[in-house]
Structure 1
Amino acid sequence: MTAPANGPLRVGELRPSQLLHTYGIGSVTDLPNLSTIVLGLDHWELEKAKPLTEDRLLAAVRRRLGPQVATLRTPPHLPETANPFDEWARVGVPVALFPRWLRCSREQCNRLAPASSGLFELVENFYRPEETRYVHNCHGQGRRRPTAVPARFLLACPAGHLDDFPWMYFVHRGAPHPDSCTLELLERGTMGEAANIFVRCSCEGVNARSMAEAMGARGERELPACRGHHPHLGTFEECGEKVRTIALGATNSWFASQLRVFSLPRALEPLAQAVREHWRFLSPLAAIPAEAAKMLLPTQACWPELEPYGVDRVWTAVTGEASRVAAGEAGQPSEDDEFDLATPEWRAFTALHRYDLPDFTTEHEPAPAKASGWLQRVVLVHRLREVAALTGFTRIDAPEWLPQSDDPAVQRAAPLSREAPTWVPCAELRGEGIFLAFDEKRVAAWEKDPAVLDREKVLRSAHRTWCLARGITEPQWPGIRYVLLHTFAHTLIRELALECGYGASGIAERVYARSGDEPMAGILLYTAAPDSEGTLGGLVSLGRHESLGASIEHALSAARLCSSDPMCAEHDPRVHGRLHGAACHACLFAAETSCERGNHYLDRSLLVETLASGLGAFLP
């Protein structure tokens, strides 16, 4: 992570996955002594950003952001060396200071001013970049000078804009003020609440004002309308929405809008799989003489993945693939196949044969005896590769809380660059998982149960109310089948986390729920990490039938009774327009990194009998 002021200055480090999930473009990163914002793609240097090959993901990104997107790339990075002045220290993700208002941490000072005012000095530390800081010269010399910390409050709006808090406007209540006045940010008491934080101006006749007046509905009335600022791009646009005061580091200040896919098999043999993955780069070589093509093979960007097989074997595979394409055996994916991310994954997981590839290894396992009536297939996924692309971000509301659409306008996603992006940042993760496919006949019959239809009306009514309250005129109901499978996934995640050694936040879900010509009813629970943690085998070992059966029984037993019952079981989602039925933090809610829909569309009463009702339960 580098700051581009007067040349790159390394100020900290993040893992690649964090740059997509937590501290992506437009997010505020809280470092030990600095607060920075990750700049847009216009400021990134691509020389050290490795391209990734994942055609399905690229097609999905193009559908969302436009056909101009040419590549998927990892964040720029070079391995570290012992010399902090080597090139690696100047390569990274660019950031800028934000918020731009700083406060002196000395209790007798508390001076509040912009970093550009000249009152604060940046002290660099090349050997320990995490100690880089701003200081105020109000007291002491050298290292004894007090650190200037970032101001604690920001302004955000649902359209994705972010801005510095208008300190002068706030303390003067919108009235004009002289340029000579100075501000202090005082904290009284020990609780750190907004009501105990006051802004004081040096001007005569101006009373100190509590930050509690900037919060909630009163703050929306007192503060100016949003001026449409995108600090990560340095741009302004028309907005005018009501702003919300948020604390620095608030979790609702940034939510990633992502697309994720699994690397799926294209062949049964590893070399053929690798050639087909990189065919768009290798296909031109098939049209030139063999000797020349063999000389050019090591110059291709994909060669590091092919090198272990040797030039001769790779060339044989290239010619074989060229013959297959010429004979029309390769088959070009249709437009629907490129844009439908779920169907190809479902087909790969439900294939009758097993795969043994570097990024996709599966093994079929018998279903537990007690679950054989409704559980059709169990597949252990020993190796799995997931590639995630960042396509935008939102503030205030997370993308999964909004309608599922490939249109950023629907999701109100903020852009990653000033112009339409030609590439997007990605992260590849490797892990393991368990795939469970439900019996389609059993699920289809359950969907027609009168009690289930009545419950669906209740949930759909609440869903409609929730959407209309947020200005969503065309609510997209995921279906009662999705609610059932999603609920089951959460119950099993909680149980597996107790046994497999991974934390519950490290187990993610993928729900496959669809009726129609090619119905889907299944879940994938998997763990993925950019290091070896995601492939330790602890999750797969619990997928064996002797362990899985006990885990399912314990999970269902725990779902029948919640410590918040009867309130949880009797919860009516229509009262306040909620997107969940019988579900709460005590029984079903999972970590943000685990749930693909923000803990929405959950209902224990559809899965098992509860205190409130036993009608319509899939597993009575």
Structure 2
Amino acid sequence: MTAPANGPLRVGELRPSQLLHTYGVGAVTDLPNLSTMVLGLDHWELQQAAPLTEDRLLAAVRRRLGPQVTTLRTPPYLQETSDPFGDWTRVGVPVALFPRWLRCSREQCGILSPASSGLFELEEHILRPENTRYAHNCYSTGRRRPTAVPARFLVACPAGHMDDFPWQYFVHRGADAPAECTLSLVERGTTGEAANLFVTCSCNDVKARSMAEAMGTRGEQELPACRGHHPHLGTFETCDEKVRTIALGATNSWFASQLRVFSLPRAEEPLAQAVREHWHSLELLAAVPPEAAKMLLPTLACWPELEQYGVEQVWNAVRAEATAKTAAPAQQASDDEEFDLATPEWQAFTALNRYSLPDFTTEPEPVPASASAWLERVVLVHRLREVSALTGFTRIDPPEWLSPEDELIEPAAPLSKEQPTWVPCAELRGEGVFLAFREDRLAEWEKRTDVAARERTLRAAHHTWCLARGIEPRWPGIRYVLLHTFAHALIRQFALECGYGASGIAERVYARSGKRPMAGVLLYTAAPDSEGTLGGLVSLGHHNRLDPVIGQALEEARLCSSDPMCAEHDPRVHGHLHGAACHACLFAAETSCERGNHYLDRALLVETLPGDLGAFLP
């Protein structure tokens, strides 16, 4: 990361995946001595931000943000060298100091003032950027000077705006503050809670004020109206929301709005797959004389991925692809077909043939004997590639956990001042296990009267929940609830067996009735390393190991430590989106669940304490 103050200054490091999931555009990044905010896309330098090819994801992003989006790009990066003053030190994601108010960490001082006031001095550390800090001259000199730490509180609103806490306004209770006065943040107690923190002013006109008065409902009444400030863009806009006080580093200060897809096979051979992935760059060569085309090949941006095959073989593959497209021109897909992210993935995982590609390697596995009555297919996914794109973010309240096909509401906060022409993305590589249910068994279960009764209960709660949030009710179907519950039960058991933490195992649920039915789950784990993961999850997919794992997962789902409260939970009472489910039995981390722990019900999977309420399995 670089801070563009008086030229780029390295202040820390982040992984590419963190720039999408944790510290994306508009997020506050907590460094050892500084607190910064990632600036909008307008400030990013694109020379070292490599384009990433993933047509399905680009189509989905364009549907959400508009047709002006032309590319997906990875964060700007230059290979690190041993030269501490090399060009690589000036390449990175731009950040700016935020919050802009600092506090002296010396207990006897505690002065509170903006960084621009001249009371604090920036100490740059070129060789150790994590040691870059602001220092206060209240005591001694040099490195012994106390560090000026970021102010502990900010204000934000549900519309996505954020601002420095109005310290002067708060302590003077809305009155104008004298120009010569200085503020201090004093702690009177040992707990560190807001009630023990007091803001004082050097003038004698006001008394010290507790930060507890800035919290909750009282804080909304005491604090000024939202200024509509987007610090990452440097803009202000009209806003009617009330601001809320939040602590620095609070998890509700930034929620990512993302889209994710898997890279799917376009051919059975690795070279043909690579040519089709980069066809938008290679198709122009088909009209060029062969000798000239071969000379131009090494100059293309995609050549590093094709170089291993040699110029001659790549040129032959380009000609073969051009001939195939001329003989059978592709039909123009409708917008809905382009945005259908689930169907192509389902077709790839359920294909009868196995794939052996760099980013998609599958192997069919026999179904465990004990599950053959309801499980149709098991596929070991030795290698997969997931690409995710950041499309916006929210504050205070997370974006509703809707499927990509349903989530058409624009996020509250934009990534750039104008409509973005590109979005940042990251790619992960990993492994997984895919399980497909028997369609005949599932369709028969859906027709049962007790299942229909349970669906009416869950659907009524879903309707109440959506109306309370002003969302159009879109029920995912009772099939989805069953498969989602099964995925969560299996994630917990997989985590005990494979060595990965439960938060590192993610799910993808494929559930749809009708003409093109789908019924299956993919449990996978992925990492930003180019080699992916080590095979611990795939090993659990072998039938001799999967059999006891599924059996134990189903047995654990029958009884929860919170029963009978969990098993007898009525979602209609408070408008919840889950039935018999809680943190003790089914809930998973946000990194694992694609629907935020919604649409879960143990009663649909196995018989629970109240009896059989529509259990799919005996």
8 Å CA contact 2:401–2:594 kept in 1: the answer is no
Alignment of 1:560-575 (within 5 A): 560-575=558-573
How far apart are 1:454 and its partner, in Å?
1.8
| Distance across 2 between alignment mates of 1:149 and 1:513 | 50
| Distance across 2 between alignment mates of 1:38 and 1:468 | 35
Which amino acid in the other structure matches residue 562 of structure 2? S
CA 1:564 to 1:532, structure 2 compared with 1: closer, same or farther past 3 Å? farther
Alignment of 1:509-588 (within 5 A): 509-531=507-529, 534-588=532-586
8 Å CA contact 2:40–2:233 kept in 1: the answer is yes
| Distance across 2 between alignment mates of 1:127 and 1:298 | 37
CA 1:175 to 1:467, structure 2 compared with 1: closer, same or farther past 3 Å? farther
| Distance across 2 between alignment mates of 1:230 and 1:36 | 14
| Structure 2, gaps ≥5 residues long | none
1:261 counterpart residue number: 261
1:379-424 deviation line (CA, Å, top 9, x unaligned) = 100010111111111112222436756666x253311000011111
Q: Which runs of 4+ in 1 moved over 4 A?
A: 329-334, 402-408
Which amino acid in the other structure matches residue 538 of structure 1? G
Count of residue pairs the alignment pairs up: 618
1:551-575 deviation line (CA, Å, top 9, x unaligned) = 1111111111111111111222222
8 Å CA contact 1:459–1:581 kept in 2: the answer is yes
1:487-508 deviation line (CA, Å, top 9, x unaligned) = 1111101100111121111111
8 Å CA contact 2:392–2:411 kept in 1: the answer is no
1:241-282 deviation line (CA, Å, top 9, x unaligned) = 122211111111111111111110011111111111111111
1:448-499 deviation line (CA, Å, top 9, x unaligned) = 2222222222222222222222233x12222221111111111101100111
Alignment of 1:193-272 (within 5 A): 193-272=193-272
Alignment of 1:255-404 (within 5 A): 255-328=255-328, 333-401=333-401
- Decide which moves more: 105-114 or 336-345: 336-345
8 Å CA contact 1:505–1:593 kept in 2: the answer is yes
Alignment of 1:65-214 (within 5 A): 65-214=65-214
Equivalent residue of 2:295, what SS?
A: helix
1:73-116 deviation line (CA, Å, top 9, x unaligned) = 10000111122111111000000000111110000000011111
| Distance across 2 between alignment mates of 1:534 and 1:191 | 43
Percent identity for Structure 1 against Structure 2? 80
Which amino acid in the other structure matches residue 513 of structure 1? A
| Distance across 2 between alignment mates of 1:560 and 1:534 | 35
| Distance across 2 between alignment mates of 1:494 and 1:126 | 45
8 Å CA contact 1:405–1:411 kept in 2: the answer is no
8 Å CA contact 1:3–1:95 kept in 2: the answer is yes
1:466 counterpart residue number: 465
1:52-82 deviation line (CA, Å, top 9, x unaligned) = 1111111111111111111111000011112
| Distance across 2 between alignment mates of 1:53 and 1:530 | 17
| Distance across 2 between alignment mates of 1:17 and 1:425 | 10
8 Å CA contact 1:403–1:411 kept in 2: the answer is no
How far apart are 1:533 and its partner, in Å?
7.4
CA 1:187 to 1:402, structure 2 compared with 1: closer, same or farther past 3 Å? farther
CA 1:569 to 1:480, structure 2 compared with 1: closer, same or farther past 3 Å? same
CA 1:434 to 1:22, structure 2 compared with 1: closer, same or farther past 3 Å? same
8 Å CA contact 1:159–1:412 kept in 2: the answer is no
8 Å CA contact 1:402–1:411 kept in 2: the answer is no
2:25 counterpart residue number: 25
State the TM-score, normalized to the length of structure 2.
0.98
CA 1:341 to 1:405, structure 2 compared with 1: closer, same or farther past 3 Å? closer
8 Å CA contact 2:186–2:198 kept in 1: the answer is yes
8 Å CA contact 1:58–1:71 kept in 2: the answer is yes
Which amino acid in the other structure matches residue 517 of structure 1? K
How far apart are 1:219 and its partner, in Å?
1.5
1:442 counterpart residue number: 441
1:428 has 2:396 as partner: no
8 Å CA contact 1:404–1:476 kept in 2: the answer is no
Equivalent residue of 2:431, what SS?
A: strand
8 Å CA contact 2:120–2:134 kept in 1: the answer is yes
| Structure 1, gaps ≥5 residues long | none
CA 1:172 to 1:401, structure 2 compared with 1: closer, same or farther past 3 Å? farther
| Distance across 2 between alignment mates of 1:601 and 1:188 | 46
- Decide which moves more: 243-252 or 324-333: 324-333
How far apart are 1:180 and its partner, in Å?
2.1
| Distance across 2 between alignment mates of 1:403 and 1:553 | 29
| Distance across 2 between alignment mates of 1:281 and 1:263 | 18
| Distance across 2 between alignment mates of 1:401 and 1:4 | 35
How far apart are 1:30 and its partner, in Å?
0.1
Equivalent residue of 1:511, what SS?
A: strand
State the TM-score, normalized to the length of structure 1.
0.97
Equivalent residue of 1:292, what SS?
A: helix
2:594 counterpart residue number: 596
How far apart are 1:425 and its partner, in Å?
0.5
Alignment of 1:399-418 (within 5 A): 399-401=399-401, 410-418=409-417
How far apart are 1:47 and its partner, in Å?
0.3
CA 1:357 to 1:79, structure 2 compared with 1: closer, same or farther past 3 Å? same
Which amino acid in the other structure matches residue 300 of structure 1? L
- Decide which moves more: 577-586 or 364-373: 577-586
1:499 counterpart residue number: 497
CA 1:402 to 1:158, structure 2 compared with 1: closer, same or farther past 3 Å? farther
| Distance across 1 between alignment mates of 2:203 and 2:404 | 51
CA-based RMSD: 1.5
| Distance across 2 between alignment mates of 1:490 and 1:402 | 17
- Decide which moves more: 124-133 or 460-469: 460-469
